Amino acid sequence: MRIEAALDPKVNRSYQVIFSGDRQKHLDARVLPDEALARIQQPCLLIHGRDDMIVPLDTSLYLLQKLPKVQMHVYGQAGHWTQLEHADSFHNLLHQFFMEDAD
């Protein structure tokens, strides 16, 4: 349902207006330098679908190398919405991660 909405021409036009001009410039402005990533001391959880066609798996693999307190879970046969595609397992991961962080 969400992919259908995202592919709707009206939604696409709205997106184009929000991110008019050089889209890469908007994305680059939000990138943290490696030094800043290395200073993040909060535990981080990365969850990624191996077959994600929107955000490449390499993005999470890069963060896995840069964040000091990180764990990563990759789902096969999953795309961009692992929280829907593997809902039970996804929620169990979140519960476990936040319960460990509370200790």
- Residue that is written with structure tokens 């990624």 in the block: 48
Cα–Cα distances (Å) from 15 to 1, 18, 19, 38, in that order, read: 18, 5, 6, 32
Structure tokens at 42: 């909060």
Average pLDDT in the 60-71 region?
97
Mean pLDDT value across residues 75-102: 93
28 exposure class (CB count in 10 Å sphere: 0-12, 13-18, 19+): exposed
pLDDT at 78 over 70: yes
Domain boundaries, the chain: 1-31, 35-103
Q: Is 80 a catalytic residue?
A: yes
- pLDDT (tens digit per residue) in 14-60: 777 776 677 677 777 788 999 999 999 999 999 999 999 989 999 99
Q: What is the mean pLDDT of the chain?
A: 89
Q: Which of 26, 48, 73, 80 is catalytic?
A: 80
Q: How confident is the model at residue 11 (pLDDT cuts 50, 70, 90)?
A: confident
Q: For residue 86, what pLDDT is reported?
A: 97
